[in-house]
């Protein structure tokens, strides 16, 4: 079986990715620890209470969905259990799409570009 040699570019990319992951984990640990000191260990949605035994199931949610917005007063954080946190992000991803409609019944403007508008003409052209 031939051995895989990593190129210098792949090695550098691996180092960059590893460094980014370490920095993210450090940043997350920092704001998580702060949030756990600021707030009671209760899910902000379902009110489930947590102890040291199950504290790993309590997450920090960023209200504005910006993980780099970490004010020291914790105003952008709320503690949510794993399930409520997943639900919150699913709701964010399922937000109304322009042109489909909104919760208030109004329709937003849809895209106006039609990439296949002249496809029939192009296909019917004789060489």
Residue 76: closest CA among 59, 64, 90: 64
In this predicted structure, the answer to whether residue 55 has a pLDDT above a threshold of 90 is: yes
Averaged over 16-21, what is the pLDDT?
Answer: 92
In this predicted structure, the answer to whether residue 20 has a pLDDT above a threshold of 80 is: yes
Q: What is the pLDDT of residue 87?
A: 93
Strands 77-81 and 58-62: antiparallel
- Long-range contacts, 5-11 (Cβ 8 Å, 24+): none
Averaged over 99-120, what is the pLDDT?
Answer: 66
Q: What is the pLDDT of residue 107?
A: 58
Please name every residue paired with 42 in a beta bridge, in sequence order, or none if there are none. Answer: 49
Q: What is the pTM of this model?
A: 0.54
């Amino acid at each position: 079986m031939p051995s895989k040699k990593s190129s210098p570019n792949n090695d550098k990319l691996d180092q960059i990715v590893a460094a980014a992951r370490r920095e993210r984990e450090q940043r997350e640990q920092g704001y998580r620890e702060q949030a756990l000191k600021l707030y009671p260990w209760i899910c902000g949605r379902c009110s489930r209470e947590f102890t040291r035994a199950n504290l790993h199931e309590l997450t920090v949610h960023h209200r504005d969905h910006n993980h780099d917005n970490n004010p020291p007063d914790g105003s952008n954080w709320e503690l949510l259990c794993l399930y409520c946190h997943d639900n919150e992000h699913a709701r964010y991803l399922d937000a109304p799409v322009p042109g489909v409609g909104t919760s208030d019944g109004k329709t937003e403007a849809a895209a106006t570009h039609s990439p296949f508008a002249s496809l029939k003409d192009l296909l019917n052209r004789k060489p």
